[in-house]
Amino acid sequence: MDREKTRLDSPSLYTIGWIAALAIDQAAARALLDEEHSEPNDFHPSPSDMNNYIWGRIGIWDARNGAFMHQIKTGSYVGKLKSVVFSEDVANLINVLSTGTVLIHDIQSGSCEQAFDLSSPSGDWSIELSHDFAMILTASSDDNTVRIWDPQTQTKSLKRARSREKSILEVEISPNGRTVVLHTVDGHEIWSLRRSKFECLLVGDSDFIEFLLDYFIVVVAS
C-alpha cells in the first residue's frame, strides 16, 4: 500500500523550483523531488488556469552519483526562497528569503550557521559571493541598493552602493573583488567596490559582460 502523500496548508509555504514547457521536462523535474506532496489545502487556481502543478520538497543532491544528501531547512525563519548561491568551495549554501533574511547553511550538515536580517524586506533579491567568500553582496529591486556583508564577522552593510533609481535585476562581482556590475532594467552600472562610487555607467542593453582577471570586457550588441 502506497504511503499517503504529505499535504501542506498553503501554497505560500512553497517556492517555484522549475517552470517546464514540455512533458519530458516536467517528468525530469518531478524525478528530482526528494518528496512529492499532494496539492495544498488552500490551493484554488483560476478556472482559466491550464497549468499543471507538482508539489514537493527539494533537497541537496550529490551531482557525482545522484544520491540525495539532505534537505536544507530555514528553521524558525519564514518567507519564500528568492535567491540561492553556492560558495566557491561548495562548503556553504547562501540564500535570501522574501522576508529579507540571508541564511548561510553548511552543505554537509544542512544546519544554518549564520543569518543576516536585511533592512528592506520586500521586492526581488539577487545575491552574489566574492570568490574568497570574504563578501556577500545582496541587491534589492525594492530600494535599488546593493549591500556588502562580511560573513566571517557577521558585520552588516559594510558599504552600500545605490543604483540611480533603476530597478536592479542582478548583481555580479569581479574575480578580484574590486568591481561590481549592477544589471538594471535599462542597462548596466559598473561600480568600484573599494570606493563605493561609479567608475562607469553603461546606458542601453548590453547583452554580455565577462570578467577577465583584474579587468572586465563588455560586448554591446546594437
Per the CB < 8 A criterion, the answer to whether 169 and 183 are in contact is yes
Provide the CATH number for the domain formed by 74-219 in this structure: 2.130.10.10
List the grid coordinates of 7. 499535504
Per-residue pLDDT of the chain (222 residues; tens, 9 = 90+): 456 888 888 887 776 666 777 788 778 778 767 788 898 998 888 888 888 888 887 777 676 776 767 677 777 777 777 777 777 777 888 877 777 788 888 877 778 888 877 655 555 667 776 766 667 777 766 677 777 777 666 555 555 566 666 677 777 777 777 777 777 777 777 777 665 555 655 555 655 566 665 555 555 454
pTM of the full structure? 0.55
Closest CA to 139 of 182, 99, 97: 182
Residue with cell 483560476: 46
What are phi and psi for residue 28, nearest 5 degrees? -65, -40
- For the chain, the structural domain boundaries read 1-58, 74-219
